[in-house]
Amino acid sequence: MLGKDFSSVERVFLSNFPCAFSPHLVAYPLAIFPMKNLLSIQSLDAQTINRIVALAKDVKAQRCFDPQGPLKGQCWALMFSKSSTRTRMSFEVGIRELGGSVMFLAADDIQLGRGEPIKDTARVMGRMAHGAVIRTFAQSDVEDFAAYSGIPTINALTDDEHPCQILSDLFTITESGFVDISKIKVAFIGDGDCNVARSWIWAAARCGFELRIASPSGFLPPAELVKEAGGKILLATDPREAADGVDVLYTDVWVSMGKESETAARMEQFKGFQINDSLCALAPDALVMHCLPAYREKEISEKTFEEHADTIFRQAENRLHAQKAVLKLIIGE
């Protein structure tokens, strides 16, 4: 049945779900997955990023629960080795609003917690689930899962990248009046070698906008990463230099998950890298954004956070709409 006219992706899909040909069961499209997986911003091009952002706008405007939606009859696995609020909720709500069902699996719920190789877990789940959303530590785990499972796989955060966050952020920026992404100037203030900053680097390289990263010495992104990405990436150890005249002031926590043992040292090293009135005065019309959770009076002052809370929480809400756009593109709608 799997003839030579099918692509390798389609053959993998059809071998996992042969019922695609049955008129009595769920009708899965054969011309599937124009974007097979979302593993990183690095793997996307500008056209795809802009397509996701545009679709997110439509999804938000037409938000509803549709039991007959494009994920009808599908069950997606959410595999989370790291805790989450916004990521878990936005994916669970989004998949259900598109007509699908969700199975949440923490690390202790599956054999990965007992040392089973990711490729074995992937080959089992690929025969049962219709897609997977993975939040874990190693980027290679997400990539190996996608390769061995043969089902759509979405990176919901790794130590290397946070693609869903940046797609949502770009949607929020365009929604706020910056229509042409390629013309914006973004300043990232904080840990320039964290997963969010790395995804910003790839987004800037792909879309052509200017990204300025200000971090203490020793926390700037690796030079080889910046060189590989290309684009207009400017590095600074003075946050004022980075913030001057930008369209977006962006920050994240100083201590990411897995770095808790470095908390005391980081609190000392990142002093002076807070987004506050003084920094905002250098870019008075800028959007102030934070991917949350926020620690007031550390990476952002309480006053600045509350003054820009509408943008920050709209940014959080838009995770739902951007991720629904990703899901729709992955399943070929």
How confident is the model over 251-282, as pLDDT tens digits? Answer: 999 998 888 999 999 999 999 999 999 999 99
- Alpha-carbon distance 82 to 98, whole Å? 25
C-beta of residue 290 within 8 angstroms of C-beta of residue 252: yes
Please identify which of the residues 130, 135, 206, 266 carries the catalytic annotation: 135
- Alpha-carbon distance 183 to 214, whole Å? 20
Residue 213 dihedral angles phi and psi, to the nearest 5°: -115, 120
Quote the pLDDT of residue 5. 39
Whether the predicted pLDDT of 25 surpasses 50: no
Quote the pLDDT of residue 134. 97
Please identify which of the residues 165, 274, 315, 323 carries the catalytic annotation: 165
Longest dimension (CA), the chain: 66
Q: Is 291 a catalytic residue?
A: yes
Question: What tokens does 255 get?
Answer: 């201590």
- The dihedral through the CA atoms of 222, 223, 229, 233 has a sign that is positive
Quote the pLDDT of residue 1. 30
Quote the pLDDT of residue 33. 39
Instruction: Kindly indicate the confidence band of residue 34, based on its pLDDT and cuts at 50, 70 and 90.
Output: low
Question: What tokens does 95 get?
Answer: 């998949």
CB-based contacts of 24, cutoff 8 Å, min separation 6: none
Intra-chain end-to-end CA distance of the chain, in Å? 25
7 compared with 50, residue with greater pLDDT? 50
Please identify which of the residues 130, 247, 291, 315 carries the catalytic annotation: 291
C-beta of residue 158 within 8 angstroms of C-beta of residue 181: no
C-beta of residue 214 within 8 angstroms of C-beta of residue 241: yes
- Tell me which residue of 133, 168, 196 sits closest to 60, measured CA to CA: 168
- Tell me which residue of 111, 112, 73, 116 sits closest to 95, measured CA to CA: 73
Specify the CATH number for 8-161+320-330; select among 2.60.40.10, 3.40.50.1370, 3.30.360.10, 3.30.950.10. 3.40.50.1370
Whether the predicted pLDDT of 14 surpasses 60: no
Instruction: Kindly indicate the confidence band of residue 113, based on its pLDDT and cuts at 50, 70 and 90.
Output: low
Instruction: Give strand pairing partners of 133.
Output: 78, 154
Quote the pLDDT of residue 99. 98
- Tell me which residue of 214, 234, 222, 167 sits closest to 198, measured CA to CA: 222
Q: Is 96 a catalytic residue?
A: no
pLDDT digits (tens, 9 = 90+) for 2-11: 333 333 333 3
Residue with structure tokens 């040392």?
115
Quote the pLDDT of residue 8. 37
Q: Is 162 a catalytic residue?
A: yes
pLDDT digits (tens, 9 = 90+) for 81-108: 998 999 999 999 999 999 999 999 998 8
Please identify which of the residues 141, 160, 191, 252 carries the catalytic annotation: 252
pLDDT digits (tens, 9 = 90+) for 123-155: 999 999 999 999 999 999 999 999 999 999 999
- CATH architecture for the domain at 165-317: 3-Layer(aba) Sandwich (3.40)
Q: Is 135 a catalytic residue?
A: yes
Whether the predicted pLDDT of 17 surpasses 50: no
DSSP class of residue 222 equals P
281 in helix, strand or coil? coil
Residue ranges matching CATH 3.40.50.1370 in the chain: 8-161+320-330, 165-317
- Alpha-carbon distance 240 to 256, whole Å? 23
Please identify which of the residues 86, 130, 162, 212 carries the catalytic annotation: 162
- Alpha-carbon distance 333 to 14, whole Å? 18
Quote the pLDDT of residue 32. 36
Please identify which of the residues 212, 266, 290, 319 carries the catalytic annotation: 319
Task: Please give the average per-residue pLDDT across 299-309, as a whole number.
Answer: 98
Quote the pLDDT of residue 323. 98
- Tell me which residue of 282, 273, 272 sits closest to 252, measured CA to CA: 273
80 compared with 10, residue with greater pLDDT? 80
Whether the predicted pLDDT of 51 surpasses 90: yes
pLDDT digits (tens, 9 = 90+) for 184-227: 999 999 999 999 999 999 999 999 999 999 999 999 999 999 99
Q: What percent of the chain has pLDDT over 70?
A: 89
Q: Quote the strand ranges of the chain, DSSP E.
A: 75-80, 101-106, 131-135, 153-155, 185-189, 210-214, 232-236, 248-251, 287-290
